Chain A
């Protein structure tokens, strides 16, 4: 296990095997694909859109969307482009494809055709193949990204990149630990090294591809240091394989100061670690995810959650925001609801576009310094565990609980860490498991939680965690005693 750059020639044997994983793999033609990318109009290139966003101080709006049938999917994306004014578009992949269960995805397509409504929760891109995916690229006027949750995304990447998608979400940790039950990290690291190397190959050929590690992880009260540390590691692994356009993500936590501090810390430390590793030729941007936890059912309240996220993204100068919908509590939204979330977000980010909130006041600086020192503890431990190799370090760090993602389903995650909000709603650590923090950091978290316990006249305990998880869906930030 190591994170050195894969040799492209050596990778060809593996590519042949991967492309045989489903009959549509045969249609991948790299030379043709590269030529297609190079001929794409500028307005359909994701890395270019991210550059413009940074240069012009814009927050690009991106929805999530994916349905099983090609024509329906195109209709949906065009609607989000016109009625929703989305700047960049997604294709969200269904859950069977994410687990490489293409036979079941095929059945989902057939049943959706027969019953005339969607039976899959996304677009099964591998089953539809290069030509099917290219129809989408041809039909819309915006850059397209593959959004999914696939531990082994090699075939999905081959097909969608060959079709002309210019951005690909995910990473070895962020698309394994929160999205799989029993995929060893050694395997997902190898498989994502392949994906990053493939993206790096396109990049080398003059066909720029944007890569985006999935910042929010399980989307459930993730302490900023855990998401930031994992994002920085996945960024390093991608850069090592030749990726140049990188977007790191952060999921809204809900406390305004903590969210701004975390975004600030993420940008600063990512640059610091990438440069320290010797990378200079890269373009880094940030994506902010509106609240990823449970939403209120009441649409008016859901809009308020969306609006708060939009405000934080704008003030944090995120280059992109992933937008939720007023139907979030009820499952997959209609296209109308999806466009409504986009329009509400647009109003806010535009109003805040030129406003600047100072990040150098005390509360913000204290939180940002705390996050940075926690991230440093985590990354130092991974580096040491890997004896100077990030990939090896990740495997060992998860085994020892030095990295640990709250509420993740993977058996390769220790699952000893439990987060909880403090009295002001900052996400703190109730149980920090084996996370390699100093006594000073642990004590600070404990003190802040004790402060809340006193205010609520109840002991710090698991019930508070449960209350916090459902709090926003019930109309407040912190869970309060019943």
Chain B
């Protein structure tokens, strides 16, 4: 656990996706892990993520997509962040991001090209994800300092 106030993160399921179970668990997990979680729940638009991140001064936005429309829903997310003055926010995305069975490396490359900092397949170890998130947030803070 780091000293100082907890890092704030924004959590939600993007688009028209109503998968709520994993979202409930991520909320409980990251809260337990010492983050301040702003959980927007399911069916969240890009602008709702960005509004919440601005309001809460969040360091990272964690986007989930389970239903296969991730490619359409996430297109232009980084650009929208830059437009709204949030260019430096960390963007994570994870879940079943595309329709059909495509190699994860291909999916990862696609979402990184969209401006996501990290891309996760299903079944990720949450402790490892939390460690990465903490390291990324601290590195970004150093870079700014």
Binding site for B on A (CB under 8 A): 94-96, 98-99, 101, 104, 107-108, 111, 117-121, 149, 178-181, 218, 220, 297, 327, 329-334, 407-409, 462, 466, 469, 473
Contacts and interface: CB of A to CB of B under 8 A. Distances in A.
Nearest 8 A/B pairs, CB to CB: A409-B20, A121-B68, A331-B96, A409-B42, A99-B16, A95-B16, A118-B99, A407-B21
A245 to B, nearest CB: 28
Contact of A180 (B18, B96, B122): B18
B28 A178 contact: no
A424 B141 CA distance: 49
Contacts of B122: 329-330
B137 interface: no
A433 to B, nearest CB: 15
Interface of B: 15-18, 20-21, 23-25, 28-29, 41-43, 67-69, 71-72, 96, 98-101, 122-123
Contact of B20 (A95, A111, A407, A462): A407
Contacts, number: 83
A301 B35 CA distance: 35
A181 B28 contact: no
B12 to A, nearest CB: 11
Contacts of B25: 466, 469
Contacts of B71: 119
B101 A334 contact: yes
Given A179-B18, A409-B18, 10 more contacts: A95-B15, A95-B17, A117-B100, A149-B18, A180-B43, A181-B42, A331-B68, A333-B101, A334-B100, A466-B28
Residues of A contacting B: mostly: loop
17 contacts: A94-B69, A95-B15, A99-B16, A108-B72, A111-B72, A117-B99, A119-B71, A119-B99, A181-B43, A331-B96, A331-B98, A333-B101, A409-B41, A466-B25, A466-B28, A466-B29, A473-B123
A118 B100 contact: yes
A330 B101 contact: yes
A95 B70 CA distance: 12
A319 to B, nearest CB: 28
Contacts of A117: 99-100
A119 B17 contact: no
Nearest to A112: B99
A435 to B, nearest CB: 19
A473 B69 CA distance: 23
A108 B16 contact: no
Given A108-B69, A111-B72, A329-B123, A98 B101 contact: no
Nearest to B40: A181
A96 B123 contact: no
B37 to A, nearest CB: 15
Contacts of B17: 95
A121 B100 CA distance: 9
Contacts of A408: 20
Contacts of A180: 18, 43
A113 B17 CA distance: 22
Contacts of B100: 117-118, 331-332, 334
A218 B23 CA distance: 13
